[in-house]
């Protein structure tokens, strides 16, 4: 059975860049956010979301993710309700994926809300990616058409770096990508030795 590495970090920390690098090394990577989008298209999950949030977040029977995001980022109770619907479906999807990757020495599970979801308890090691606040804000503003205030609301809806670091086995500050890749290489060597 492979060692499971949970990889996390706040919005704008550069997790996608890191997981793309890790995947380029031939290590299987599971991206929970992508899986969440996939399971949110299943009939069972859509029905649960409609029952919880109403038809107002659907346009012509299609889930409007922007409307849903606007609701859950403003209301912690609604975010918890959505997570209670989506997280079990993602967990099952991950278990199916893991069964297909049994021969790997290491697999990586990437999630921005690894701690908030409680899924971190299922992993062998936790790697947290951090970056300075202003760098994070700039990265998000470059890739999404949202305001600085909206970015800060998303950041504030997640755990702080300090909270994540306190529960992590490894921490990498992602400022210079070449230095970050070097640190990732070192961590992977350590983990492969621990096999």
Non-local CB neighbours of 119 within 8 Å, separated by 6+ positions? 6, 32, 87, 91, 109, 111
Give the whole-angstrom CA distance, residue 53 versus residue 69. Answer: 11
Other CB atoms within a 10 A radius of the CB of residue 171 amount to: 16
Structure tokens at 163: 């909270």
10 and 114 Cβ atoms separated by less than 8 Å: no
12 is in an annotated binding site: yes
42 is in an annotated binding site: no
| Residue 131 CB-density burial (10 A; 0-12 exposed, 13-18 middle, 19+ buried) | buried
17 is in an annotated binding site: yes
11 and 155 Cβ atoms separated by less than 8 Å: yes
Q: Give me Rg for the CA atoms of the chain.
A: 17
180 is in an annotated binding site: no
Query: Is the sign of the CA dihedral 152, 148, 35, 77 positive or negative?
Result: positive
Grouping H, G, I as helix, E, B as strand and the rest as coil, residue 16 is helix
160 is in an annotated binding site: no
Residues contributing to the annotated binding site for ATP: 12-17
Binding-site members are 12-17
């Amino acid at each position: 059975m492979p060692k499971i590495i949970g990889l996390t970090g706040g919005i704008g920390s550069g997790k996608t860049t890191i997981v793309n690098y890790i995947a380029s090394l031939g290590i299987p990577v599971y991206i929970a956010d992508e899986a969440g989008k996939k399971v949110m298209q299943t009939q069972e999950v859509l029905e649960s979301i409609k029952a919880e949030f109403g038809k107002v977040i659907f346009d012509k029977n299609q889930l409007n993710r922007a409307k849903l995001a606007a609701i859950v980022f403003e209301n912690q109770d609604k975010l918890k309700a959505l997570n209670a619907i989506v997280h079990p479906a993602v967990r099952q999807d991950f278990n199916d994926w893991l069964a297909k990757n049994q021969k790997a020495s290491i697999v990586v599970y990437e999630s921005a809300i690894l701690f908030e979801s409680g899924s971190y308890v299922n992993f062998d090691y936790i790697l947290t990616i951090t970056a300075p606040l202003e760098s994070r804000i700039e990265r998000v503003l470059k890739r999404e058409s949202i305001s600085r205030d909206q970015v800060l609301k998303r950041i504030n809806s997640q755990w702080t770096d300090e909270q994540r670091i306190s529960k992590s086995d490894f921490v990498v500050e992602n400022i210079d990508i070449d230095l970050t890749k070097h640190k990732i290489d070192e961590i992977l060597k350590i983990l492969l030795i621990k096999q």
